[in-house]
């Protein structure tokens, strides 16, 4: 696959990035062998960029895929840590579990946080800067759904990478419209930031409009890569072929009809509201009469972040 350099970082990546969230325990929950095989297949097919996170719990299969193939891809990870100590722990965990001496990209994982994120997580951001200076991280930045955060990050010299949400329906975009997000992304791109996009299929909600949705994202022009979650060899092959322009239109229906959704099981929910605090798209509401949480499917991005917050295992993908 053709590669592009992420802004001024010098890091060269394929336009298609392997999103490691869906294969892990937050979503599909494939076993270790299946995950390893999937990542290895993607690497062997030419994808050189993997997006993961501390929360995704997918470091081990990525490590094993590297060992299996002998291929060292560009790896981006992120953490929701707000303190220096928490971020340091997250960085060291990534280095250890991936068995690497340095990581290419590490981001503040701040999907729903507003532009005060750099103030509220000053300790964590300082840690990223320190570890970059030590050579343990090559590029740092932020993962966000918020238009204003993208615009602010575009102006910050310390930011190398911006990982914003964008899709043709505006699902998940916070603090602005689709056009606002496109403009903020352009600001970052023009400022020399590495830009890779997330949720171009709206967390799976736009899967039946695959071609239109991916082409919408690609046509904005101001980006270097697009992260897409893939949970089968067939998906990997189809996505690669689509991005390379030699896909078979007759095969598009094979990915249609794929749906996923999350549900709160009321008999297990204790009403602690932990899930409502972590949902990046404010898609979990609370029934004050029943004292139970419930998911608003019209806003849900099916990211599965809520499952990590629920200690009662009351939220399941069905």
Which tokens in the block code for residue 273?
């509201």
Question: CA 170 to CA 87: how far, in whole Å?
Answer: 30
Average pLDDT, the chain: 92
Question: CA 87 to CA 81: how far, in whole Å?
Answer: 5
Question: CA 106 to CA 174: how far, in whole Å?
Answer: 22
pLDDT at 81: 97
pLDDT at 313: 61
CA 125 to chain centre: 19
pLDDT at 317: 67
Q: How confident is the model over 127-180, as pLDDT tens digits?
A: 999 999 999 999 999 999 999 999 999 999 999 999 999 999 998 899 999 999
CA 68 to chain centre: 24
Question: CA 130 to CA 106: how far, in whole Å?
Answer: 12
Which residue bears the tokens 């965990």? 93
All domains in the chain, ordered by first residue: 3-255 (3.20.20.100), 262-317 (3.30.70.20)
Question: What's the sign of the alpha-carbon dihedral 296, 118, 225, 70?
Answer: negative
pLDDT at 256: 47
Show the low-confidence residues of the chain (pLDDT under 70): 250-260, 308, 312-313, 316-318
pLDDT at 32: 98
């Amino acid at each position: 696959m053709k590669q592009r350099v992420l802004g001024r970082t010098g890091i060269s990546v394929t336009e298609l990035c392997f999103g490691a969230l869906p294969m892990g325990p937050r979503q599909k929950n494939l076993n270790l062998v299946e995950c390893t095989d999937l990542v290895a297949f993607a690497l062997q097919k030419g994808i050189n960029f993997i997006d993961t996170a501390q929360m995704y719990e997918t470091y081990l299969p990525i490590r094993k895929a590297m060992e299996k193939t002998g291929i060292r891809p560009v790896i981006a990870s992120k953490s929701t840590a707000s303190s220096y100590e928490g971020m340091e722990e997250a960085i060291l965990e990534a280095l250890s579990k991936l068995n690497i001496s340095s990581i290419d990209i590490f981001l503040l994982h701040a999907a729903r946080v507003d532009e005060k994120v750099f103030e509220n997580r000053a300790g964590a951001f300082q840690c990223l800067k320190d570890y970059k200076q030590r050579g343990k991280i090559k590029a740092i930045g932020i993962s966000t759904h918020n238009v204003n955060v993208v615009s602010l990050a575009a102006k910050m010299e310390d930011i190398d990478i911006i990982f914003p949400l964008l899709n043709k329906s505006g699902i998940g975009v916070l603090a602005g419209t689709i056009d606002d997000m496109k403009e903020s992304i352009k600001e970052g791109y023009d400022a020399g930031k590495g830009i890779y996009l997330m949720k171009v299929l709206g967390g799976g909600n736009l899967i039946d409009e695959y071609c239109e949705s991916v082409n919408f994202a690609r046509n904005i022009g101001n980006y270097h890569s697009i992260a897409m979650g893939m949970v089968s060899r067939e998906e990997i092959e189809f996505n690669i072929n689509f991005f390379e322009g030699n896909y078979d239109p007759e095969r598009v229906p094979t990915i249609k009809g794929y749906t996923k959704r999350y549900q709160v099981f009321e008999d297990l929910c204790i009403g602690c509201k932990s899930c409502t605090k972590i949902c990046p798209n404010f898609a979990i509401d609370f029934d004050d009469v029943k004292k139970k949480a419930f998911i608003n499917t019209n806003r849900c991005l099916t990211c599965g972040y809520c499952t990590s917050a629920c200690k009662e295992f009351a939220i399941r993908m069905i």
